Amino acid sequence: MILANAQLILEDRVMRGALHIEDGLIAAITEGDAVPAGAEDCGGTHLAPGLIELHTDNLERHIQPRPGVDWPHSAAIFAHDGELAATGITTVFDAVRVGSIPDDGAGYAKYARPLVTEINALSAANRMRISHFIHLRAEICSATLLDELAEFGAEDRVGLVSLMDHTPGQRQFRDIAKLAQYVQGKKGLSDDEFAAHVARLKDLRDRFGDAHERGAVDAARRLGATLASHDDTTTEQVTTSAGHGIRLAEFPTTEEAAAACHDHGIATIMGGPNLIRGGSHSGNVAAEALAQAGLLDIISSDYIPSSLLLGACHLSRLWQDLPRAFRTVTDAPARATGLKDRGRLQVGLRADVIRLNDMDRTARVTGVWSAGRRVA
């Protein structure tokens, strides 16, 4: 297959040319606007590497479309997979929480092990459109984290483990009012139920927090997964992250923390919704502020899949540098998680490719190929 007469978004420049694809790989890249016999004429539209998503809560929305509704998991996984493909994402690390609080009304029930089994079974049977890896969100403030982590092994395609500490009053939810707005709005808790929930979380952190943190670090090493921090707020927290060997920081909440991450060689990841909306829904640092300060390395779509492409286009306008912007959603996340076979339009790499129209307005995905196979 040849995709010809396109604007190719390469690692450091945009070039008019063609991609030659054989056996799921990029076999050649040629310059110019020629359209060989049998090639698909892209008409000057853009071709980019398939987008790589490291942290998405999107699957949860399909599995539980309403509070108390558990949708059939295979149907939910297929809907999630198809939605990501349609937005240009060709590799995803499905974020799944490990660490539960039995009998807690805020929705901390155990679910990770069977869901990961289903995702991996569908992938192994070639029933998915795109590549799926697993991102275990290790909830430090829980009762069962170590037991749940022990259920996972090398065969589970766990590529990322993040240390999540949602103890009220710090990190993402330093402002308890923001936590109340989020939890009570999502779960319908009364004021008394919310107060009990906060007290329960603080008690769990006091009893299990340090052991859970050590256990999650050990589990990441055992699984061969990239270890990430989450919601670092202070330089002290970043120093602790660096001591754990963390090289990826998800959603630092302050510019101080993001700067400390760069000082320690830790890449930062910020949410596409934050970037597009112009600020954090939790009241934390704006992603655009970090981008302007040179402290944003990777974008995640978080809870809106289409925000990955929109975020890259937003950065392109902010930085006036299209290749640099697209590296935040392709090459940078690939490098951060050790994926050496994708993330760039380069000979010998996977033919994960997306075709984009209307780049000067709201960019549209008009073609998606995963390992050379058209999936959207």
- Asked, for residue 43, whether it belongs to a domain, the answer is no
Burial 308-321 (b: 16+ CB within 10 A, else e): bbbbbbbbbeebee
- Asked, for residue 3, whether it belongs to a domain, the answer is no
Name the DSSP letter for residue 279.
Answer: S
**Which tens digits make up the pLDDT trace of 354-372?**
999 999 889 999 999 999 9
Residue 308 clears pLDDT 90, i.e. is over it = yes
pLDDT at position 283 is 76
Cα distances (Å, whole numbers) of residue 325 to 106, 271, 299, 302: 37, 14, 9, 18
Dihedral Cα 149, 150, 151, 154, nearest 10 deg: 90
Amino acid at 348: G
| Nearest alpha-carbon partner for 108 in 83, 82, 140 | 140
Residue 6 C-beta-side C-alpha neighbours within 13 Å: 29
pLDDT at position 284 is 86
* CB 275 within 8 Å of CB 311: yes
Q: For residue 267, what pLDDT band results from cuts at 50, 70 and 90?
A: very high
Q: Which residues contact 91 (CB under 8 A, 6 or more apart)?
A: 50, 51, 52, 53, 130, 131, 133, 334, 339, 342, 352
- Asked, for residue 129, whether it belongs to a domain, the answer is yes
Residue 198 clears pLDDT 90, i.e. is over it = no
DSSP, collapsed to helix, strand or coil, labels residue 53 as strand
DSSP, collapsed to helix, strand or coil, labels residue 114 as helix
Burial 115-149 (b: 16+ CB within 10 A, else e): bbeebbebbeeeebbbbbbbbbbbbbbbbbbbebb
**Which tens digits make up the pLDDT trace of 109-132?**
899 999 999 999 999 999 999 999
**Which tens digits make up the pLDDT trace of 241-262?**
999 999 999 999 999 999 999 9
Q: Which residues contact 316 (CB under 8 A, 6 or more apart)?
A: 322, 324, 325, 326
Query: From CA 203, how far away is CA 73, in angstroms rounded?
Result: 33
Query: From CA 254, how far away is CA 260, in angstroms rounded?
Result: 10
pLDDT at position 66 is 86
Q: Return the biggest CA–CA distance within the chain.
A: 70
- Asked, for residue 128, whether it belongs to a domain, the answer is yes
Query: From CA 18, how far away is CA 36, in angstroms rounded?
Result: 9
Domain count, the chain: 1
- Asked, for residue 27, whether it belongs to a domain, the answer is no
- What is the domain range of residue 169? 50-342
With tokens 């196979």, the residue in question is: 373
* CB 326 within 8 Å of CB 48: yes
Domain at 239, CATH number: 3.20.20.140
Bridge partners of residue 94, in order along the sequence? 56, 134
DSSP, collapsed to helix, strand or coil, labels residue 7 as strand
- Alpha carbon 201 to its chain centroid, in Å, reads 26
**Which tens digits make up the pLDDT trace of 25-73?**
999 999 999 999 999 999 999 999 999 999 999 999 999 998 788 999 9
Number of CB atoms found within 10 A of residue 175's CB: 14
Residue 197 C-beta-side C-alpha neighbours within 13 Å: 22
Query: From CA 197, how far away is CA 74, in angstroms rounded?
Result: 32
Name the DSSP letter for residue 95.
Answer: E
Query: From CA 285, how far away is CA 274, in angstroms rounded?
Result: 9
- Asked, for residue 271, whether it belongs to a domain, the answer is yes
Number of CB atoms found within 10 A of residue 58's CB: 23
**Which tens digits make up the pLDDT trace of 77-108?**
999 999 999 999 999 999 999 998 876 655 57
**Which tens digits make up the pLDDT trace of 166-195?**
666 566 666 666 666 666 666 667 777 777
- Asked, for residue 369, whether it belongs to a domain, the answer is no
- Asked, for residue 104, whether it belongs to a domain, the answer is yes
